[in-house]
């Protein structure tokens, strides 16, 4: 590395991959550099597990492949280190899903997303903190402590992929995996000033993702740029019919193929419901400034309406807990995970194991889910929620008849202080109002940094596309990032 070369941690994924291919730096040197950084910044709370021996072994294998002449798409990510959200099972690292229920658990296999990225030559640095079983909007529900936002350590990085977002923003990793059930990639990306994308439901296999809500959970990448996300998403996605019945039978796609296409004439839908009461003025100003930048790039703003936006909160918080109550029934202390030490009989073991192993938010959602699925309430709550979910998806299809992408805020405010919502879970739920609709419809959505709001905290803008339109979304984001430099800003001290 020459004196004129930026520090390794300041390089994007694309830049770092080029340095590795050109042998300006080795994969081992790169891995060691990031291991040193993340260990020095352990108080941030982003990482839950490291395995330096495994990380360096993967780096040595990448160096061998690079030395053997790997090139082209097979070397697009070779040797690049990333972190995995602790919701993906990994055989070489402990997987806890942020819960005491899985303390010390080591899976006998890797999640498909982890396997796909490993086959692309990515080096795993470790596992990243998250809200317990991905349930939360602030990363305060982790059994292993909250993650701090590197822009202001008194504030939340967002959730549930808060560890991933904070680690990328603090330059502890070039990129990370995340999962998005109701906004858990987009909201923390917004709060931490990075880029993140949730692909179309079914694009990435859910096999090996610890399940929260099976009809909503979807994996995606979190990085500093849309270009980086395109490279990572290309490696992550692909059909997995033998192990995930919800996996889409669509071929592997190069999402970076159209990154430099003109967006002149692009129709950007601006939903009236995303700019009403409850949206903080500082967030609104940053998003509107970004929309004006798009107009300078040749795009056209089109007023649209998504009339059932407000209904997305009650719909989501019926459907997601219902699925969670079913998925989490497997954690009973019998086959794996935590088991209570003292109990009188099998039922007592179940009760004490689950009481000890689950945190308050998980218990709350299990109880809500069991209630709405119970006899006498299924039709009144769960069935009605599913009907409205279909209507929300129809609203988007009506909108896409007059626009190509939809844009608006990711969250109503910038990141709040840790503990700022106190014991009011409803405040966290309301913060997801702009991300929930796309999740319920299964549409791809992403967050890109577009400025700063109160307290000099990052503001993200959400871009939503139609089904399987990830390449278009990424290009729209990339063109904005070519014209602006919000994505290059980094927290002081990192």
- How many structural domains comprise the chain? 1
Q: Does the active-site annotation cover 335?
A: no
Q: Choose the catalytic residue: 26, 85, 127, 164.
A: 85
Q: Residue 233 is encoded by which pair of tokens?
A: 């998403």
Residues with Cβ within 8 Å of 402's Cβ and at least 6 positions away in sequence, in order, are 267, 269, 302, 304
Active site residue: 184, 256, 325, 439, which one?
A: 184
What's the N-to-C CA distance of the chain in angstroms? 20
Is the residue at 81 inside a domain?
A: yes
- Return d(Cα 174, Cα 12) in angstroms, integer: 6
Would you write out the chain's pLDDT as a tens digit for each of its 494 residues?
A: 445 678 999 999 999 999 999 999 999 999 999 999 999 999 999 999 999 999 999 999 999 999 998 765 557 999 999 999 999 999 999 999 999 999 999 999 999 999 999 999 999 999 999 999 999 999 999 999 999 999 999 999 999 999 999 999 999 999 999 999 999 999 999 999 999 999 999 999 999 999 999 999 999 999 999 999 999 999 999 999 999 999 999 998 999 998 999 999 999 999 999 999 899 999 999 999 999 999 999 999 999 999 999 999 999 999 999 999 999 999 999 988 999 999 999 999 999 999 999 999 999 999 999 999 998 899 999 999 999 999 999 999 999 999 999 999 999 999 999 999 877 888 888 899 999 999 999 999 999 999 999 999 999 999 999 999 999 999 999 999 999 999 999 999 99
73 domain residue, yes or no: yes
Q: Which domain holds residue 23?
A: 8-265+471-488
**Domain assignment of residue 400, yes or no:** no
**For residues 93 and 209, what is the distance between their CA atoms, to the nearest angstrom?**
14
245 is catalytic: no
- Read off the CATH number of the domain in which 117 is found: 3.90.1300.10
Q: Would you say residue 383 lies in a domain?
A: no
Is 182 among the domain residues?
A: yes
- State yes or no: is 215 an active-site residue: no
- Asked whether residue 56 is assigned to any structural domain, the reply reads yes
Active-site choice (26, 99, 142, 160): 160
Residues β-bridged to residue 152: 149
Q: Does residue 17 contact residue 75 with C-beta atoms inside 8 Å? A: yes
With respect to residue 200, please indicate whether it lies within any of the assigned structural domains: yes
User: Is 346 a domain residue?
Assistant: no
């Amino acid at each position: 590395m020459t004196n004129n070369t930026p520090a390794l941690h300041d390089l994007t994924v694309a830049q770092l991959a080029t340095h590795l291919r050109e042998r300006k730096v080795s994969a081992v040197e790169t891995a060691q550099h990031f291991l040193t950084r993340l260990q020095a910044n352990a108080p941030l709370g982003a990482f839950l597990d490291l395995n330096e021996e495994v990380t360096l072994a993967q780096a040595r294998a990448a160096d061998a492949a690079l030395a053997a002449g790997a090139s082209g798409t097979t070397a697009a990510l070779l040797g690049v280190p990333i972190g995995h959200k602790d919701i993906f099972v990994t055989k070489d690292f402990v997987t806890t899903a942020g819960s005491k229920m899985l303390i010390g658990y080591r899976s006998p296999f890797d999640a498909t997303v982890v396997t796909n990225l490993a086959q692309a030559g990515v080096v795993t640095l470790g596992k990243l903190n998250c809200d317990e079983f991905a349930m939360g909007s602030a990363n305060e529900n982790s059994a292993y402590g909250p993650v701090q936002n590197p822009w202001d350590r008194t504030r939340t990085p967002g959730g549930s992929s808060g560890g991933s977002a904070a680690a990328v923003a603090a330059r502890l990793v070039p990129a990370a995996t995340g999962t998005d059930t109701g906004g858990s990639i987009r909201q923390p990306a917004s709060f931490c000033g990075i880029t993140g994308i949730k692909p179309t439901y079914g694009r990435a296999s859910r096999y090996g993702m610890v399940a929260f809500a099976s009809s909503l959970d979807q994996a995606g990448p979190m990085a500093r740029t849309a270009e980086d996300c395109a490279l990572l998403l290309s490696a992550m996605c692909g059909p997995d019919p033998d192990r995930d019945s919800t996996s889409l039978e669509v071929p592997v796609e190069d999402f970076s193929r159209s990154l430099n296409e003109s967006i002149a004439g692009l129709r950007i839908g601006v939903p009236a419901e995303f700019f009403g009461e409850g949206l903080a003025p500082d967030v609104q100003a940053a998003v509107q400034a970004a929309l004006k930048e798009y107009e300078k790039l040749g795009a056209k703003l089109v007023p649209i309406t998504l009339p059932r936006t407000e209904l997305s909160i009650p719909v989501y918080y019926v459907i997601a807990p219902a699925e969670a109550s079913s998925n989490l029934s497997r954690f009973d202390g019998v086959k794996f995970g935590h088991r209570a030490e003292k109990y009188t009989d099998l039922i007592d073991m179940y009760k004490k194991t689950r009481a000890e192993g689950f945190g308050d938010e998980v218990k709350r959602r299990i109880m809500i889910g069991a209630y709405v699925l119970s006899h006498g309430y299924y039709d009144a709550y769960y069935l009605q929620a599913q009907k409205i979910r279909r209507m929300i998806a129809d609203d988007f299809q009506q909108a896409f008849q007059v626009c190509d992408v939809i844009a608006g805020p990711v969250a109503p405010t910038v990141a709040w202080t840790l503990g700022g919502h106190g014991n009011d879970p409803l405040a966290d739920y309301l913060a997801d109002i702009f991300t929930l609709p796309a999740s319920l419809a299964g549409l791809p959505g992403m967050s890109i940094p577009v400025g700063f709001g109160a307290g000099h905290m990052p503001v993200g803008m959400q871009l939503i596309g139609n089904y399987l339109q990830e390449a278009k979304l990424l290009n729209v984001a990339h063109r904005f990032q070519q014209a602006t430099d919000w994505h290059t800003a980094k927290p002081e001290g990192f």
